Amino acid sequence: MNLTRRQFAGLSLAVASTSLLGAAPAIAGEKARKGTLSGRKGYEAGGTIKVKKEAGKTTVVLAEDYFFDPTNKNPPDIKIGFGNGEVYAKGSKIHDKLTVKKGAASFEVPANIDTDQYNELYVYCEKFSVILAVAPLK
């Protein structure tokens, strides 16, 4: 196969820009971070959590192995949100109330929340400002 100088220059530019962006062309624009949930404050929680960015939308995905069990205690206002260093970032909640206690589920993250700012996902009680479970994101 013979390339013209223009084709070669275009191909070189595409390869260089891909290298600078750190993504292969086939997966450009798609990104996922994941972590494993663990309970806090005596709450039992576990399972895999993913934060996926795809086609301009960000989604929090709770895997089939997800569980949150407030059997002994029943917090009134359970949410999912983000933060760093086990400190919840105000304004990062992604829904009004978490009712899923077990199994797979997904939630679209509002467009105004930049999940790249945060390295942890939380299950927390908004009313009492208590983090009930944490998933470090990698």
Provide the residue ranges of all domains of the chain, joining segments of one domain with +: 29-136
Please give the average per-residue pLDDT across 64-93, as a whole number.
Answer: 89
Given pLDDT bands bounded at 50, 70 and 90, which one contains residue 13? very low
Length of the chain: 138
pLDDT value for 75? 79
CA distance 72 to 54: 38
**pLDDT surpasses 90 at 28:** no
CA distance 6 to 10: 6
- 19 burial via Cβ count (<10 Å: 0-12, 13-18, 19+): exposed
* Higher-scoring residue by pLDDT: 113, 128: 113
- 57 burial via Cβ count (<10 Å: 0-12, 13-18, 19+): exposed
In CATH, which superfamily holds the domain spanning 29-136? Superoxide dismutase, copper/zinc binding domain (2.60.40.200)
pLDDT value for 77? 87
